Amino acid sequence: MKLEKNTKNQLIELYKTKKISLEGNILKLIDPDGDEEFTSYIKESIDRDKDSRRKRLDITKQVQIQNADLTKWKNENERVNKELTSALEEAEESNKSMLVAKQEAEDSLEEAQKARFEAEKARQEAEKARQESENAKISAENNLDLIQKKSQFELIGTIVRVALWVILGVGIVTTGMYLLALSMGLDTTVIASTWSNIIGILLTNAFSIVGTIMGVKYASESNMKN
């Protein structure tokens, strides 16, 4: 393919001023037709086209390598994201399990504290009941002891009264018989001696009874104080 001189000059001028030249397989189709300047243009354009193709090829290879790296990085990033997502889900599940376990532990602790409080309350109530039982036992024993002592005192008092009345009665009867013998003018030597002995015996027995009663009373009071 041959070009006109004017076209050739425009192409050469465009290359010189703006460094723009023809590219591609069209350069192989153009016939310089013996024009040395245009021949030089064609040669430089072909070299420039080869250099541009080489650079584009290098860029393409670099882009392909970068794309491969990006694809690899993307796959690795997706794998890492999946692992992170899985780890996050496991952490959330573990956190939920920990929260549930914590709540169960708190509930168990609360139940244990409540049971402990109830046990302590029951122990205090049992201790109070035991103390009340002890007090009731002591009170019953004291009351029984008082009743027994009261019964003993009443019995002793009755015995004393009966004994004193018997002594008094014997003394009165003996004295009456002695006075009767005196009034009748009888010999009172034997009666007087008998009356004196009986009165002495009665007084001795009376004092003995009173002393015994006082001793028993004193011993009972000492035991009550102890």
> What is the structure's pLDDT at 143?
77
Residue 175 lies in a domain: yes
Q: How many domains does the chain have?
A: 2
Residue 109 lies in a domain: no
pLDDT of residue 27: 66
DSSP 24: S
Residue-wise pLDDT for 100-114, tens only, equals 888 888 888 888 888
Tens of pLDDT, residue by residue over 22-31, are 667 776 667 6
Torsion, Cα 43 46 48 51, to 10 degrees, reads -130
pLDDT on residue 5: 72
Q: Is residue 149 part of a domain?
A: yes
Quote the pLDDT of residue 94: 80
pLDDT along the chain (226 residues), means of 10: 72 74 68 70 77 82 83 84 85 82 84 85 87 84 74 71 75 77 72 76 78 70 59
Q: What is the pTM of this model?
A: 0.33
Q: What pLDDT, on the 0 to 100 scale, is given for residue 216? A: 67
Greatest pairwise CA separation for the chain in angstroms: 218
Q: Given this model, what pLDDT does residue 75 score?
A: 86
pLDDT confidence of residue 226:
56
Residue where a domain terminates, one of 84, 108, 123: 84
What pLDDT score does 191 carry? 67
- Domain boundary pick from 43, 67, 84: 84
Helices (H), the chain: 5-18, 26-29, 36-183, 189-225
Beta-ladder partners of 31: 2
Q: Report the residue count for the chain.
A: 226
Which range of residues forms the domain containing residue 24? 5-84
